[in-house]
Amino acid sequence: MSGKERVSVLSGESAAGQIFNKLVFPVGLLIIYTIFDIILGGGVLWNANAIMTLISHTVIQAYIAWGLVFIFSGGPDFSIAGSMVLAANMGAFAVTELHLGYFGLFVFAIAVTIVLQLLASYVRIRCALPTWVSGLAMLMIYEAIGSVYTTSRTSIGLTNITLEADQCRALGRGYWPLILLAAGTVVMYFIYSRTKIGINYRAVSNNAKVAGYMGIDSKKTQYIAAVVGAISVGIAAAITISSNAKQDTYTGLGSISVIGKALATWLLAGAMEKRLSKPICILLGAFFTAFLFNVMTRLGIPSGTWQDVSNAVFILFFGALSFAGTKEVIK
């Protein structure tokens, strides 16, 4: 077989090429996992407990990144980080103070995220501001609200609301992370690939002017995308509280650290999405990111310092891959 024939077989025009394009990233990541598993003496990947631990670390980042896919339809809006912090605390409030259990946890977390994200989107669209300007401004406002909340509790001798061991703490344990991850993948794939919401979102995010010529209402689509993304991030906030018992508040744009790994996941997905549906890319990217941080922990790399540096490097690297070949100015 000649070189030209081999290239044509692996091109996207042939059935074999389509299969190759869809499997190249999953197989490549699997090879990387296996190599690191061997280097670290096993037990990192090919072990049931290790896999469940990785999945529990994956699920929160996946839900945040799925949310970013829709929330970033008008550009990167980092106010969602502040929304998630407040939503997580309000979910904990519903559990500890209102005794609403899991129902209250999810309803409050999701509702608060939706309201705050719609507010941020309204300010951006109404004032015709660049996303990074409005997003950072709204993030600072949300952080100020969180600071007032923390200060008010501190003044009466309390700390951030913390769930007790018997209060809605199961979402990060057992098979719940796997169930939540599987359900999220199916639902987000369906919304993104099979619904009018997903089709309109992709058209607007690619080129709002062209989408307008096609009869798609750009503003309405961005608001709907904000709601879909906020629901996903709200679920992530609820899972975070259930897994960690509490969520600290931040000032000085520190809330961005809450979505740091998810941002790396979102960028990694952007590098893969030409071959796979983006929600599937998010799933693979979130697992890959969780795996890398697990490996760094096993290697003794301190969290909060060099792991943060590594995450920044991932963001730069994956960002370069995501936008490779983009000729216009990236806003």
Query: pLDDT tens digits, residue range 94-115?
Result: 999 999 999 999 999 999 999 9
Joined tokens for residue 176: 């719940």
Q: Which residues contact 6 (CB under 8 A, 6 or more apart)?
A: none
Helix (H) or strand (E) holding 9: helix 3-9
Among 190, 177, 262, 260, which residue's Cα sits nearest to residue 228? Answer: 190
Joined tokens for residue 140: 């600072």
Among 88, 84, 63, which residue's Cα sits nearest to residue 188? Answer: 63
Interatomic CA distance for residues 184 and 234, integer angstroms? 13
Interatomic CA distance for residues 284 and 271, integer angstroms? 12
Long-range pairs, 22-30, Cβ under 8 A, ≥24: 22/275, 22/276, 24/275, 25/272, 25/275, 25/276, 25/281, 25/284, 26/284, 29/284, 29/287, 29/288
What is the per-residue pLDDT for 326? Answer: 54
pLDDT in tens, 121-130: 999 999 989 9
Q: What angle do the packed helices 48-71 and 218-244 form, to 10 degrees? A: 150
pTM value?
0.86
Residue 130: other Cβ atoms inside 10 A: 13
Interatomic CA distance for residues 135 and 126, integer angstroms? 13
What is the per-residue pLDDT for 161? Answer: 87
| Residue 322: C-alpha distances to residues 110, 272, 292, 293, 316 (Å) | 29, 8, 19, 21, 10
Q: Which residues contact 119 (CB under 8 A, 6 or more apart)?
A: 138
Interatomic CA distance for residues 288 and 29, integer angstroms? 7
Interatomic CA distance for residues 203 and 197, integer angstroms? 10
Which residue reads 């945040």 in tokens? 64
Residue type, position 131, single letter = T
What is the per-residue pLDDT for 218? Answer: 86
What is the per-residue pLDDT for 18? Answer: 62
What is the per-residue pLDDT for 157? Answer: 78
Query: Within the chain, which residues score under 50 in pLDDT?
Result: 1, 3-9, 329-331
Among 34, 13, 12, which residue's Cα sits nearest to residue 23? Answer: 12
